[in-house]
Homo-oligomer: A and B are copies of this chain.
Amino acid sequence: MGRHSLREQLIEAAVAQFHTHGFNGAGVKDITDAAGAPKGSFYNHFPSKEALAVVALERYGAGRRIGELTAGPGDPLGRLREHFEFLRDEQIEFGYSRGCLIGTFATDIGDHSEAIRTAVRESLGRWSAALAAVLGQAQEAGQVNRGLDPEVMARFVLNAWEGTLISSRTDRSAAAFEPFFDMVFGRLLT
């Protein structure tokens, strides 16, 4: 196995381990075991678990389909709904065990690592900016109330989503997502 592919396997294992167990709950050995790699190989690829966490967060963000919010097919409000339906279905598929890696890192390590806190803030900022952009498109298309500030709406919707994931992990039920879809699409934006 080449050096490149082992690094990739460590990143993929780290995304899954951090996502399920959090930063403090996933040790270097858990990650190397999940990657099928000897523990000693870890430090050939990453200077620390913290450094790998920053890379894992970038990798996770790239899988959120954020680019499709503003440039995908369909109308803007439909794309916004599909975005959250995709994220909801992913949670259901994983048995409500994962939540959002960004929110998890914010909660369990962000206070204690400036590098991770910065990476979390940038991830939320990119996501929020894409949400604001599609909300602006939806306003132009007459689908969303033009009296609302897209940036404020985007931040609020993102916060509501992060909290909804907390509730879905606790309830382990798809019903936990209903208040989000009812209130955002049935009340807040119209």
- Complex alpha-carbon distance, A171 and B99, angstroms: 20
Q: Which residues of A contact B (CB under 8 A)?
A: 20-22, 24-25, 97, 99, 103-104, 106-112, 117, 120-121, 124, 148-149, 152-153, 155-156, 158-164, 166-167, 169-171, 178-180, 182-183, 187-188
Q: Are B170 and A152 in contact (CB under 8 A)?
A: no
Interface majority SS on A: helix, strand, loop or mixed? helix
Check A183/B107 contact, CB under 8 A, given A24-B24, A159-B163, A163-B158.
no
A–B complex contacts, Cβ < 8 Å, 12 sampled: A20-B111, A25-B108, A25-B109, A120-B170, A121-B170, A148-B187, A152-B178, A153-B179, A159-B160, A159-B179, A162-B167, A187-B188
Chain B residues near A108: list those with CB within 8 A.
22, 24-25, 104, 107-108
